Structure 1
């Protein structure tokens, strides 16, 4: 009985440590999204660099096998697209990189379900792309001030 309790406690602790790291990644993602939504190219560059460090900080080895495999696959995409975004010389290129980054983040949160707060999957029909938002209000990262509130909520992901 004690062994089961210890194993369960260890798994819970590891899971919560992993959840904390994933939520820090999600916050870094929101920072990039917010910079793009407000047309702040230089801020998006800096926030993409922070996001890269958060990807590397995920203690993914304790994830169940299927989630671990998905994370390895999506982390590669997130890192590649965040790297592109960080070196892009213009905001249009940053926004293009953000599309694939967002797709990978959406797939990750749907599968791993680590969020400690409600997450809104929002979609822009003009860009034909979705993103994650911490707020219900639309803040379009693909068009920024040109179409700040264009889009709709396509899904609500409740906290874990």
Structure 2
């Protein structure tokens, strides 16, 4: 009888764990533990949805580089954000974008990188609005970013992966606009 009770309790515990994880109500420590046990490929899939590699192969090189920067900031990885920014720098001509990319690649401070990323995101948004970026993108907003001033970014899907809050609050934010959905 004791084995049966222990077995039932384990099943209930597992079910509760699955339920709280699925509902997003697990705390940051559980998320951090889950993230540490995931491979880099699994994390990329989680941040960009299923088939992240296939999605990136369908993107323009500039959009793919922007998404690499975004994913690095979501992962709280300043080194990857810097490398992706350096790669993107060769693709842009606009001085405002180059300045933002230089600020990201020239720092390992996530706060500074995220401030520059906000400027980069505004420039990418303008390009998407004008049709210079043909992929369907989502303009997202996080009201808590930048010390409560809020900030925006572009993503390739509607699932929020917040580059400003990183792993502290990866789901914070909402889609504000869908761009180029008719192309």
Correspondence 1:146 to 2:168: yes
Q: Are residues 1:31 and 2:53 paired?
A: no
Measured after TM superposition, the shift of residue 113 of structure 1 is 4.4
CA contact (8 A) 1:28 1:54 kept: no
Structure 1 gaps, min length 5: 1-21, 57-74
Q: Is the 8 A contact 2:79 2:108 kept in 1?
A: no
- By how many angstroms is 1:151 displaced? 0.2
Structure number with the bigger relative contact order (C-alpha 8 A, sep ≥ 6) is 1
- How many matched pairs? 120
For 2:106, the equivalent position in structure 1 comes to: 87
By how many angstroms is 1:159 displaced?
5.1
Q: Which has the higher helix share?
A: 1
Alpha-carbon distance between aligned partners in 1 of 2:86 and 2:173, rounded to the nearest angstrom: 27
Q: Give the direction of change, closer, same or farther, for the CA distance of 1:143–1:112 in structure 2 (3 Å limit).
A: same
TM-score (normalised: structure 1): 0.71
* Aligned positions of 1:14-53 closer than 5 A: 23-53=60-90
Residue 155 of structure 1: SS of its match in structure 2?
A: strand
**CA distance in structure 2 between the aligned counterparts of 1:159 and 1:24, rounded to whole angstroms:** 21
**Gap runs ≥5 in structure 2:** 1-58
Separation (CA, whole Å) in 2 of partners of 1:134 and 1:89: 25
- Answer with 1 or 2: which has the greater Rg: 2
